[in-house]
Structure 1
Amino acid sequence: MLWACLRFPGLAFSAAFAATPEAGPSALLDHKARQRLIAAVNADAAAHGVRRGQNLAAARALCPALEVRPRDPAAENRLLTELAAWCYQFSGHVTLVPPNAILMEVGASLRLFDGWPVLAERLREGLGEQGHAHTMAATPFAAAAWVFAASADGMVIPEREGVRRMLGDLPLAQSGLPSATVTALQAMGFRRLGEIFRLPRPELTRRIGRDGVNWLDRLRGDAADALPAWQPPANFLQKIEFDAELDGSQPLLFPLRRLTRSLANLLAARDGGVQRFTLTLEHARGETTRVVVAMAAPQRDAERLFELARTRLERTTLPAPARSIEIDAAELPTFRPPLRDLFEPIRGDGLDWPTLDERLRARLGDAALRQIALVADHRPERASRYGTPGNVVSPPRRRRPLWLLPRPVPMRPEPAAVLAGPERIESGWWDGADARRDYYIVRTAQGQQAWAYLPPGTLDGWMLHGWFA
């Protein structure tokens, strides 16, 4: 087995600033402390002297422009779950390690991704595109991978003995033991894990307790880790609330991109797609605005989902500033990529029909696009109508002309040759427009192919009804 650990040191910031991006010096407040203490700072705030554990008043004195948000554990857990959904495409066993880490068993996936270097590159590339700072490490032991991901970014040790040697040189402060235990051991003169490993087990248990010894056994692989496997949910419902009301569609694009990316991550985990989802914007006094985003076929690309939702949102007139935005996707059908020929020629930058259809409908509205749909009526003039794009109707089995005249006209001169027919059509007795005709495919003297008919049982009185291409 090979366990990979991903740590996200900026996850708390990403969760707290989900509605608007960080701008300038920013800090998070400790939600558990009685006083208003700084729990985390970004690089800009640290450059002004703001540090963790500092009183908010002191931090404001050092940096008056400091933007402060409270930590949101629920939002952090949702974001960690979103990242787990994205990681699920690389491993069948993904485990959440709150507050900011994910473990996944990648040993079974190495052959699929051509080894760890290729897999690690794909992980870093994907997380970089999503804007998540991260560190990673991989070892045969899950607990060791979690420790090394915090202290040695990029480390991969596939051999068990190699992990134990590296653990021996690890400082106690980076061992994952509780801070009180580390302080007590340092007071006894211990500095590295290797010194602790050489102690007799009864003596070690007396000093750090049974839980501490169990943790050291898990680090070295002497005890198994019972890691619950995360499973992707069957639907998607996620909401972002704003600190202040946002007026217009432009300020809503940042949280909208966050939500569509989260939806795309879940779809990747389920190997599925979405064909319809609903945007719900909440306003003051309980008012809501719902925007339905429908697609011609199931999709799961994050940029495509965002583009369609953005276009629909920009066409919607909001009655008031928004206080929150929510995406609800109740049905996640199977995603089937389009079949392509092995030797398909390289196309230009043009859009395929489903993509063009979705963009036109999003920009112009559903009623602006129409397509010809078949009707269950044998009379040619009533066998088709305009319908909603995307409805698939089986074409008629018999050959029909591409150009149907608005009404039949006498055919002069008569056909030079009959190519096919007759095809008898008798219909319409129930609505007073009874039609009894024998249709033929004929060729004119000029070589054109036409669709014409005669009254049943006669050989004259040709009526032209359509032209073949």
Structure 2
Amino acid sequence: MALFIYLHFPALQLDHLQLSAESDRQLPVALVDLQHQLVQLNPAAIKAGLKQHMGLASAAALCPDLQLLPYQPEQQAKILHNVAQQLYQVSSDIALDKPAGLILRLEGMLQLYGGLKPYWQELSAKLSALTYRYQYSCGATPYAAKCLAYQQAGLITVDNRLFDKALNSSPLSATELSPAMQQQMIRLGIHTLGQLQSLPPAELARRFDSQLLSYLGRLRGDYYHALEYFQPEPGFSRYMELLYDISDSNVLIKPLAKLLQQLEQQLRRTNCQCYQLLLSLFFRDNPPLKLSIGSAQGEYKAQAWLALCQLQLENLPLPEPVYGLQLDVNHFAGQQHTTEALFNQHQARMSALQLISLLQARLGHAAVSGLTLQDQHLPEMASKRSLPLTKGAIGQAVLPLRPAFLFTRPQPLTEAVTINQGPERLCPDGWQLGAQRDYYIGRNQQGQWLWLFRTVSQQWFIHGLFS
């Protein structure tokens, strides 16, 4: 038997906006379309007596402190797509019914979960985590499930008799018939879907156009209704528009945490982690600011990524207030679990790679590097900068004593020193006698240990300092 669930999100864009401003949920807020009518209301606005499709004048008279925001169909479509992406963790056959609905086919899912009840428990738990208001119902066809969901029927059953009873008592306003056709039906004394379906099809075909018969046929399942099922995209991409513009970069942490929690859910589901995030900050009069946040070890937990993001955001100057955030991850990698000693009582709070990630987030990638030895006798060329924690090419070789700090250019010696070790002869420019240097380790009167050399012409220079 065919079975579908329809999910209707009556205020998807507004609920998504208020995710970034939980403290403002006591204020009445509504979205307004191009016809200056209210299309989405938050609970505070509904409590104030406002209703959908109400005009602005009536709304202002009922609720003087009403906050108005523009309805954006493109933004709503992106949010609906993101909801389908997250519900795909529970249900595989999902079709988008824009602007605010999802159709879920259940035949394969019931066998997987062992029945409708355990399947609905998993699905409702995922919906509750999204914190969007929704209406739902099962139905034998997508149109039937949609009609019942719009009435908030909440039917989770496989009993066709309950579907038929609920559909027959459904008002015409819950159907997809045009308002003009609904008014025409009401003038004929037809107020419910059951009354409409009881009329002979020939009579309906004579009085009304073919769209009515087509709708009733799809409602009953007489005609095939093709659905284009959703396919999840690789990686992760989420956009969040803020309820109000934010000019302090530290305040962006709260809405960013919501996006990172969604990322963690997807990474947990696929048993993956990621090494790089791309955070985009959107401004009204300036191009987006893109920040690349990396983790040398790879992370999947939202809290770990939030700490790295906070280090980059806390001192970030903003050219103007931010009105939207977007978080993108292009590549996932499998989680690599590390083993730890069972009886080790002194474990570090973070690994070396996690420490490197924090330093790179605070100081920048260019400021954090490793030091690798090279097979060169000249001090300036004996080492080079490398990636952090990279092992040098020279393993157990005996290394000569060298200072920790080298001057870019040797400085003339202008003070008295005491020689403690040396000489060690080096020739920077090949084995030419005129370029040879005799290196010594000495100490000045302030107690500093110096790395000195003497040229062929008996001139003394300081090349470095020992720590």
Cα offset for 1:338?
Answer: 4.0
Partner Cα separation in structure 2 for residue 154 and residue 103 of structure 1 = 14
2:12 is aligned with 1:11: yes
Partner Cα separation in structure 2 for residue 156 and residue 431 of structure 1 = 86
The equivalences for 1:101-120 within 5 A come to 101-120=101-120
For 1:24, give the aligned amino acid: Q
The equivalences for 1:3-402 within 5 A come to 3-15=4-16, 17=18, 20-21=21-22, 22-33=24-35, 36-160=36-160, 163-234=163-234, 245-260=245-260, 274-282=274-282, 286=286, 289-296=289-296, 299-302=299-302, 304-316=304-316, 318-327=317-326, 329=328, 332-338=330-336, 353=351, 356-357=354-355, 360-361=358-359, 364-365=362-363, 388-389=387-388
> Contact 1:281–1:322 at 8 Å: present in 2 too?
no
> Contact 1:4–1:105 at 8 Å: present in 2 too?
yes
SS of the counterpart of 2:331? coil
Partner Cα separation in structure 2 for residue 118 and residue 376 of structure 1 = 63
Cα pair distance change 1:6/1:394, threshold 3 Å: farther
Cα pair distance change 1:53/1:373, threshold 3 Å: same
Cα offset for 1:47?
Answer: 3.0
Q: Taking every aligned residue pair, what percent have the same amino acid on both sides?
A: 21
Partner Cα separation in structure 2 for residue 307 and residue 209 of structure 1 = 61
For 1:11, give the aligned amino acid: L
Partner Cα separation in structure 1 for residue 307 and residue 107 of structure 2 = 37
SS of the counterpart of 2:83? helix
SS of the counterpart of 1:253? helix
Deviations 1:433-454 (A, max 9, x none): xxxxxxxxxxxxxxxxxxxxxx
Cα offset for 1:197?
Answer: 2.5
Give TM-score, length-normalised by structure 1: 0.68
Moved more, 102-111 or 303-312: 303-312
SS of the counterpart of 1:110? helix
Moved more, 194-203 or 175-184: 175-184
For 2:322, give the aligned amino acid: R
Deviations 1:114-141 (A, max 9, x none): 4333332232223322321222223342
Cα offset for 1:226?
Answer: 0.9
SS of the counterpart of 1:96? strand
Cα offset for 1:218?
Answer: 1.9
For 1:128, give the aligned amino acid: S
Deviations 1:274-315 (A, max 9, x none): 421222335576376443211235555555544542343224
Cα offset for 1:43?
Answer: 2.7
> Contact 1:83–1:265 at 8 Å: present in 2 too?
no
Partner Cα separation in structure 2 for residue 60 and residue 371 of structure 1 = 61
> Contact 1:50–1:62 at 8 Å: present in 2 too?
yes
| 5+ long unaligned stretches in structure 2 | 402-427, 431-467
For 2:158, give the aligned amino acid: P
Partner Cα separation in structure 2 for residue 310 and residue 135 of structure 1 = 37
Partner Cα separation in structure 2 for residue 126 and residue 44 of structure 1 = 25
For 1:98, give the aligned amino acid: K
SS of the counterpart of 1:286? coil
Partner Cα separation in structure 2 for residue 53 and residue 286 of structure 1 = 35
Partner Cα separation in structure 1 for residue 226 and residue 72 of structure 2 = 28
For 2:191, give the aligned amino acid: R
SS of the counterpart of 2:209? helix
Partner Cα separation in structure 1 for residue 198 and residue 347 of structure 2 = 65
Partner Cα separation in structure 2 for residue 141 and residue 23 of structure 1 = 37
Cα pair distance change 1:17/1:43, threshold 3 Å: closer
Q: How many residues align?
A: 401
For 2:7, give the aligned amino acid: L
Deviations 1:51-74 (A, max 9, x none): 334432443333222111121111
For 1:62, give the aligned amino acid: L
Cα pair distance change 1:224/1:300, threshold 3 Å: farther
The residue number in structure 2 matching 1:455 is none
Cα offset for 1:262?
Answer: 5.8
Deviations 1:95-118 (A, max 9, x none): 111121111223323344443333
The residue number in structure 1 matching 2:404 is none
Cα offset for 1:8?
Answer: 1.3
Partner Cα separation in structure 2 for residue 251 and residue 24 of structure 1 = 20
Partner Cα separation in structure 1 for residue 346 and residue 187 of structure 2 = 70
The residue number in structure 2 matching 1:458 is none
> Contact 2:15–2:133 at 8 Å: present in 1 too?
no
For 1:332, give the aligned amino acid: N
Partner Cα separation in structure 2 for residue 383 and residue 176 of structure 1 = 78
Cα pair distance change 1:335/1:168, threshold 3 Å: farther
| 5+ long unaligned stretches in structure 1 | 408-429, 433-469
Cα pair distance change 1:99/1:245, threshold 3 Å: closer
Partner Cα separation in structure 2 for residue 140 and residue 355 of structure 1 = 54
Deviations 1:238-258 (A, max 9, x none): 655668652212332344245
Cα pair distance change 1:47/1:303, threshold 3 Å: same
Partner Cα separation in structure 2 for residue 176 and residue 349 of structure 1 = 63
SS of the counterpart of 1:227? coil
Cα pair distance change 1:340/1:258, threshold 3 Å: closer
Partner Cα separation in structure 2 for residue 307 and residue 29 of structure 1 = 34
Partner Cα separation in structure 2 for residue 105 and residue 351 of structure 1 = 47
Partner Cα separation in structure 1 for residue 373 and residue 72 of structure 2 = 56
